[in-house]
Amino acid sequence: MTKDEILELLKGVKHPEQDKDIVSLGMVENLTIDADTGAVRFTMKLTKPRDPMAGSVRRAAEAVLREATGVPPVIVVAEPLPPDSKAAKQQTMREKSRLNEIGQVIAVASGKGGVGKSTVTANLAVALAAEGYKVGVLDADIYGPSMPKMFGVEDYKPVAEIAEDGSDLEYIVPAEAYGVKVMSIGFFISGSDALVWRGPMATNALRQLLHQTAWGELDFLLIDLPPGTGDLHLTIVSELKLSGAVIVSTPQEVALLDVVRGIAMFRNEHVNVPIRGIVENMAWFTPAELPDNRYFIFGPADEGGRVAALATEQGVPLLGSIPLVQAIAEGGDTGKPIAARDSLTGEAFRTVARALVGKL
């Protein structure tokens, strides 16, 4: 029998817990066939330490191979690398080096929830892609991952691929929509699970998504952070090696207070991430039937408005102002970001994108 035929056979052996076959799970390594006896030999690499299923999966593989070849196979069970081993560290270094293919890693943050941080992230990404840049989005909002919905890729099931660089490492293939590569913690967890995540668990998962996604070459990777400025954020932003941050705020006074906190977090000596600018969202309301009217419902517009004043006070550029319009909310709900459309509002996001590029 050939190696391919053996692999085909092994695809019939499932890991019951993960509901996938052992070949797709990458558990079959160093497969050889003894030229004299025809005995198959391979290493069964476990996907997690002390896997309770290991014994039954190995026996199932043995049975299949013995039946097909007539000789008992040799299956060596290998535990995954302990996290602090030298080999594991080398693997981490190789993973890190792949991030060199990413030009700018920009976190999009907000002090307060609900100000439109995710909406701005999605549209900014689409606008940057429309400007000809290679863009990825990492949805790190563990409290409410919304990128799958905003990009219309909720049904996407992430798959793994082997790196082409000969390292034999596996990477997760991101979803792709509107020219943007999208990876979300939402592809892996259901909404209610996210809430119980504690700091280290969330940070580990995010680190893995950042390093093990097959981003390829990117000019920009935007990270949609969870709202707030707590300990979790401090850990995330100091772990992720950001090249800059963008802060989103509405002109409401309660939101502005939190912006000051957000700016202080990025400027913290342990974090030290440059703030590339503030985006004012929901700057004014414009009804669809009166496109020339502006109603400043969240704050007055005198002297350029509160967000502009705060930006000047903090020494941070204002990248642009986005109005509150129904089409933006609809775009988010239907998975069709408005920045992909040739509209006035789409242009507002493209202006923000150009301003951001100008600051880098």
Residue 328 within binding range of ligand ATP, rule CB under 6 A: yes
- Which is closer to ligand ATP, CB of 136 or CB of 227? 227
Whichever of 73 and 228 has its CB closer to ligand ATP, that residue is 228
The 8-class DSSP code of residue 39 comes to -
The interface mask with ligand ATP, positions 112-141, x = CB under 6 A, is -xxxxxxx---------------------x
Q: Is 324 in the site for ligand ATP (CB under 6 A)?
A: yes
Q: How far is the CB of 117 from ligand ATP (least distance, A)?
A: 4
Which residue number, 144 or 199, has a Cβ lying nearer to ligand ATP? 144
**Smaller CB separation from ligand ATP, 66 or 149:** 149
- For the bound state, the minimum distance from the C-beta of residue 251 to ligand ATP, rounded and expressed in Å, comes to 12
Binding residues: 111-118
Angle CA(225)–CA(233)–CA(137) in degrees, nearest 5? 20
Could you count the other beta carbons within 10 Å of the beta carbon of residue 219?
Answer: 17
* 73 or 337: CB nearest ligand ATP: 337
Beta bridge partners of 75: 42
Can you tell me which of 259, 282, 311, 319 binds ligand ATP, judged by CB under 6 A? 282
Q: What is the nearest approach in angstroms of ligand ATP to the Cβ of residue 33?
A: 54
Q: Does 338 bind ligand ATP (CB under 6 A)?
A: no
From residue 302, how far is each of 144, 247, 297, 306, 352 by CA, in Å?
A: 34, 22, 13, 8, 21
Instruction: Name the minimum Å distance from CB 210 to ligand ATP.
Output: 19
SS3 for 232? helix
- What minimum distance in Å lies between the beta carbon of 359 and ligand ATP? 21
Do 126 and 336 contact (CB within 8 A), yes or no?
no
Size of the site for ligand ATP (CB under 6 A): 20
* Contact present, 181 and 218 (Cβ < 8 Å): yes
The residue (of 211 and 336) whose beta carbon lies closer to ligand ATP is 336
Contact between 358 and ligand ATP (CB under 6 A)?
A: no
Q: One-letter amino acid identity for 164?
A: E
Single-letter residue type at 295: Y
> Coil, strand, or helix at residue 353?
helix
- Residue 276: name the closest of 290, 296, 257, 262 by CA: 262
Interface of this chain with ligand ATP, residues 189 to 228, rule: CB under 6 A: 227
Considering the complex, state which of residue 115 and residue 307 has its C-beta at the smaller distance from ligand ATP. 115
Gyration radius from the chain CA atoms: 24
- Of residues 84-113, which lie at the interface with ligand ATP (CB under 6 A)? 110, 113
Q: DSSP assignment, residue 86?
A: H
Residues 139-158 that bind ligand ATP (CB under 6 A): 141, 144, 146
Of the pair 110, 184, the CB lying nearest ligand ATP is at 110
Contact present, 328 and 119 (Cβ < 8 Å): yes
| DSSP character string of 237-257 | HHHTT-SEEEEEE-S-HHHHH
CB within 8 A of 131, min separation 6: which ones?
350, 353, 354, 357
CB 224 within 8 A of CB 116: no
Give me the least distance between CB of 192 and ligand ATP, in Å please: 15
Q: How far is the CB of 350 from ligand ATP (least distance, A)?
A: 15
Give binding residues for ATP as ranges. Answer: 111-118
> Angle, to 10 degrees, between the axis of helix 306-314 and the axis of helix 253-267?
20
The residues that touch ligand ATP, with contacts defined as CB under 6 A, are 110, 113-119, 141, 144, 146, 227, 281-282, 322, 324-325, 328-329, 332
